[in-house]
Structure 1
Amino acid sequence: MTLQRLLSLTRKAVDTFNLIESGDKIAVGISGGKDSLTLLYALNGLKRFYPNSFTIEAITVDLGHPGFDLIQIKALCRELNVPYTIVQTEIAQIIFNERKEPNPCSLCAKMRKGALNDAAKKAGCNKIAYAHHKDDVIETMLLSLLFEGRFHTFSPKTHLDRTDLTVIRPLLFVNEADVIGFKNKYHLPVEKSPCPVDGYTKRQYVKELIRTLNHEHPGVKERMFTAILNGNLDGWETFLKK
């Protein structure tokens, strides 16, 4: 995927769901993975021509895993002229060594989001951009359907009352395969997650299930996404009004 195509799909989501307003300062959550680095490129490119003027700041919450190296990401942010903040934490130590959580993902996500929210507020941001793409939307829906018994997924825009921050997801129309193509084309400095349970989650199971279904019945993934767009889910109603 080219940068031009990425910017086109990002603007489509931003316009469809009114994700960015003039004067916004947006914290871009950088995990080190391909998705968040693609989001950084997308918003940094979009702000150069989008009619609603906005600024961005990259923020990484370092969970404290040994061997997590952010040198190349620092260099990328300098190259893009994007301010970059690294929040040092002991989340990994707490979860894996002190609490020895048997199912660590939920608590880790909660603590990581809390640290990101605090850093965003401290930086003067009013919005946080997450790098969830189309595949994430579909996987979350199927996880909810299979394990919770409800038709649900996260919304394009969510206001957090406690922090008065708004979470936006500008990559909703971007396929994961296109993110991989963008990463390879532009040689993004991806830093692999050192988490010991990475790749062994229910989400990974659902990702592989969708891949199998789409291989056996081509178009299944897109039909699932269409069902979400037309499902009158909370936060997705804007699409229906277009």
Structure 2
Amino acid sequence: MSETVSESATRKERLEFNKLQKRLRRQVGSAIADYNMIEEGDKVMVCLSGGKDSYAMLDVLLGLQKTAPVHFDLVAVNMDQKQPGFPEHVLPNYLDSIGVEYHIVEKDTYSIVKEIIPEGKTTCGLCSRLRRGTLYSFADEIGATKIALGHHRDDIVETLFLNLFYGGKLKAMPPKLLADNGRNLVIRPLAYCKEKDLEAFAEARGFPIIPCNLCGSQENLQRQVIKQMLQDWERSHPGRVETIFSALSNVAPSQLADRQLFDFVSLKPQVMAYEQDPQQQTVVGYIDAVQL
């Protein structure tokens, strides 16, 4: 009996999901290997916000954990920032259902942000600093050797342009980072993953998404402007965002202007010295012009 239209559609969706899952696992595995993100005996604290990216990160890491060549432990951590109306039951219920060790860290950063930041102004900067400090301290408490954040490729490229346009700095989010306190190692396993793939994966897996009511509802954020710019570029020039991301790992310090990265002050011209031969000229080496 031939399969029905519904069965055919279901089969196609299943095949597409399998391809998507394999692609994400391959990209996460490559990022982990390229930057030595996870090592034997690591205890990785997976930071869950309740958004699509962190859910996907935990899901993929759980899958890789079963086949990885090294042993490592995963512990999920969510920070309850005491936002009004925050559904406190959602994450615990989900994590209980998949049998993952987890902690809910309660810290009222919402009141602090609302008290300091004027109404209508961007809260993301202060909110992220407060959240980061709390999570770093908690990582020390539980003995976590790595802190995994759910930033993906598009986040990294957006941050590059945010710093370039608004901060006058040429920097982004590195896949692996030593925190300012010198103790915590931060990793970004989704560094090679596209946001649209993570969106599709989250929808297919049916993650219980929790929207951010503190900053996610703000309009006209600088990041939104950058995101729209990159989306426009990608539509008119497909592959441009991937090229920009590749550039972050293909840096030529001598072609920039940072005196800390390249010794421009001591740079001197060099000339060729030739050993004369009746038949040909043979290069014997470089001699600094100032020595001639």
The two structures have a TM-score, normalised by structure 1, of: 0.90
Give the whole-Å Cα distance in 2 for the aligned partners of 1:125 and 1:198: 32
Q: What one-letter code is carried by the residue in structure 1 that aligns with 2:168?
A: G
Give the whole-Å Cα distance in 2 for the aligned partners of 1:208 and 1:38: 23
Q: Return closer, same or farther for 1:106/1:51 CA change in 2, 3 Å cut-off.
A: same
Superposed displacement of residue 62, structure 1: 1.2
Contact residue 126 and residue 164 of structure 1 kept, 8 A: no
- Structure 1 consecutive aligned stretches of length 4 or more whose deviation exceeds 6 Å: none
225, 228, 235: which one aligns with 2:248: 228
RMSD: 1.7
Q: What one-letter code is carried by the residue in structure 2 that aligns with 1:54?
A: F
How many residues are matched? 232
Q: Report what 1:36 is aligned to.
A: 54
Q: Return closer, same or farther for 1:4/1:76 CA change in 2, 3 Å cut-off.
A: farther
Contact residue 30 and residue 60 of structure 1 kept, 8 A: yes
Q: Report what 1:22 is aligned to.
A: 40
Q: Report what 1:190 is aligned to.
A: 209
Contact residue 123 and residue 215 of structure 2 kept, 8 A: no
Q: What one-letter code is carried by the residue in structure 2 that aligns with 1:94?
A: I
Q: Return closer, same or farther for 1:70/1:4 CA change in 2, 3 Å cut-off.
A: farther
The structure with more radius of gyration:
2
Superposed displacement of residue 66, structure 1: 0.9
Give the whole-Å Cα distance in 2 for the aligned partners of 1:190 and 1:153: 27
Q: Report what 1:240 is aligned to.
A: none
Superposed displacement of residue 160, structure 1: 2.3
User: C-alpha offsets along residues 175-210 of structure 1, whole Å, 9 cap, x if unaligned?
Assistant: 000000101111111111111553532111101111
Q: Report what 1:90 is aligned to.
A: 108
Structure 2 SS opposite 1:118: helix
Q: Report what 1:214 is aligned to.
A: 234
Contact residue 7 and residue 46 of structure 1 kept, 8 A: yes
* Structure 2 residues without counterparts, runs of 5 or longer: 1-16, 254-292
Superposed displacement of residue 100, structure 1: 3.6
Q: Return closer, same or farther for 1:204/1:161 CA change in 2, 3 Å cut-off.
A: closer
Instruction: State the identity as a percent.
Output: 32
Contact residue 44 and residue 80 of structure 1 kept, 8 A: no
1:202 equivalent to 2:222? Answer yes
Contact residue 134 and residue 174 of structure 1 kept, 8 A: yes
